[in-house]
Amino acid sequence: RAAQGRTYGNLGNTHYLLGQFRNAVKSHEQRLLIAKEFGDKAAERRAYCNLGNAYIFLGEFSLAAEHYKRTLQLARQLKDRAVEAQACYSLGNTYTLLQDYERAIDYHLKHLIIAQDLNDRIGEGRACWSLGNAYTALGNHDQAMHFAEKHLEISKETGDRS
C-alpha cells in the first residue's frame, strides 16, 4: 500500500509534466488518500501542492487556492519555513489570478517576511515584484513604487538583468 502511494505520486507528476492535468488530479487524489491512511503528513503536503499546481493549469483557481491553503497548514505543522514561503507565494499568485488583490497582497507580504528571515534574496525580489504589481492593480501607486524600487535594488544585487 505504501508503494502504491508513491507510485500514484509519480504517476501524477508524469501526467502533469505531459500536460494531462485531469489525470494528474486523479492520481494525486489517490496519493492523498493513501498518505492520509498512513498519517504521512509530508506526503499529504506534497499531494496538496501537486493538486494545487494541476488546478492552476485547469483554470480552476479557487480549487487551487483551497489546496494551497492545506499545503500551507501542513507546512506550518511540519515547521518547514521554505515550504511555508512557497505556499504563500503560490497563494499570492493564485489570488492575483482571481483578481482578489487584497488577499494576494496578504500572502505576498507573508512570503516577503519569510524570505527576509531566510536571507533568500531571490525570493524577496520576487515578493517585491509581485507586491508592486498587486498594488498597481489596486491603484496604490505609492506602495507600487516602493516595491518596484526594492525589486530593482535586489535585481541589481542578484545580477538579474531581465
Partner 1 sequence: TQRMHLIQIDSVQRWMEDLRYMTEVE
Rounded CA-CA distance 134/7 in Å is 39
Shortest reach from residue 60's CB to partner 1, in Å: 10
CB atoms within 10 A of CB 118: 14
List the one residue from 25, 32, 53, 75 that touches partner 1 (CB under 8 A).
Answer: 53
Q: Looking at beta carbons only, is 96 or 110 nearer to partner 1?
A: 96
Considering beta carbons, is residue 99 or 119 the nearer one to partner 1? 99
Residues that bind partner 1 (CB under 8 A): 6, 9-10, 13, 16-17, 43, 45-47, 49-50, 53, 56-57, 59, 61, 89-90, 93, 96-97, 99, 126, 129-130, 132-133, 137
